[in-house]
Structure 1
Amino acid sequence: MSTREFEVTEVVGLSPDSSTRKVPGSRWSDYWSLTPLTQLTTRYSPNVQQIISLLTLDLDGSEWDILGGLLDSGVLKRFRQISFRLRIWFGEENENYRRFYSWFVRLERQGFHKLAFRHLQESARDIVFVSL
Structure 2
Amino acid sequence: MIGTACQQGALVRVISHEGQILFSQKGKLLGFSSEVVSILKGNALFICDHQGNTLSTHRYTANHPTHTHSSKSLLFYLLFGCLDKIGDAYRLYQFLGRGNAIGTDGGDLNWKNIGICFLSIFFWIACFFAASKMGIVE
TM-score by length of 1: 0.23
Per residue, is there more helix in 1 or in 2?
Answer: 2
Q: Which has the higher strand share?
A: 1
